[in-house]
Amino acid sequence: MHTGGTILKSSNKDNLFKYRVVASDGSESFVDVSDQALENLKELGVDALVILGGDGTLTSARDFGRKGLPVVGIPKTIDNDLPVTDVTFGYNTSLESITDALDKIVTTAASHDRIMIVEVMGRNTGWLAIEGGLAGGADVILIPEIPYDLNKIVEKIEDRNRRGKRFTIIVTAEGALAKGGSQHVREIVKDSADTTRFGGVGGALMQELLKHIPEQEIRYSNLAYIQRGGITSQFDRVLGLQFGAKAIDLLMAGTYSHMLTYKEHTIQHLSLEEVIGSGATGETSKGGTKLVDPNGLLVTTAKGLGVVFGD
């Protein structure tokens, strides 16, 4: 239970309904190999699949369900961006890593009167940044849902300096962006279902801040894949056990093509057809992605504590 990752190995870009094939002449094409996958499962004696992952993985789960394969989906992503579930498996463990890193970074920030910028993952959402930043005592939190004004960040830093707090912790989501600006793209992976990889906003922010506050040291750290591994948290261990047990219950009862959810401290389930691409009823969402509510409890709590979002 304590081991992160998957012993079955994994891919963040292979889609069996649109599988990349490279010919001997180097040309590329994309073909549907899902029927071959079903034949392979039959030969292996696999009766059903419990499929763990994010939106791309669960979309494939839905599509295999349409082909008659008994499947149950489990929401597993550190980004916590899937609709209709309060939390995804892996998110809490990642938050522990972020909080631990911020606890260490504040030491050098306070000792040297530095501005420390810490970039975290999250794709188009700010869940990791806001909850990790709150737990780690960040002074500024930047998330995609609230485009920031650089001047507001500068004002916060200068105010802390005037009050004798000559260090500032800034946590930024990888998808954060300035007002009127665009997100920082690290690379484009053409053969992936999610082609855009964000990254570098923290470094760009550091360069901009140096123009306004040249007299103060500024350092930038990107936690990157540190967030994606390590010892599984107690919460995720228990959540994983509950998800796993419930998945078997559904399969044995003949309830297929459903995704498990964690709502109001209970394990529930919904049809994958309802979950994938449908948005999240009653939640701040865009294109089926669960977003941080700019007027919700997390943001209002942070602002009440003096955290600046740059808006």
Number of domains in the chain: 2
For the question of residue 79 being annotated catalytic, the response is yes
Same domain, 141 and 177: yes
Same domain, 30 and 153: no
Does 155 fall in a domain?
A: yes
Which pLDDT tens digit goes with each residue over 10-68? 887 788 998 989 898 988 888 999 999 999 999 999 999 999 998 889 999 999 999 99
Same domain, 270 and 125: no
Is there a contact between 200 and 184 (Cβ–Cβ < 8 Å)? yes
Same domain, 191 and 266: no
Which pLDDT tens digit goes with each residue over 264-280? 899 999 999 988 865 44
Q: What is the CATH number of the domain that holds 162?
A: 3.40.50.460
Same domain, 185 and 248: no
Catalytic site residue from 14, 25, 32, 79: 79
- Average pLDDT over all residues of the chain: 91
* Residue 282 banded pLDDT, cuts 50, 70, 90: very low
Is there a contact between 197 and 190 (Cβ–Cβ < 8 Å)? no
Q: What is the CATH number of the domain that holds 62?
A: 3.40.50.450
Same domain, 219 and 244: no
- Structural domain containing residue 214: 92-229+294-304
Does 172 fall in a domain?
A: yes
Q: DSSP letter string over 177-211?
A: -BTT----EEEE-TTSSS-EEE--HHHHHHHHHHH
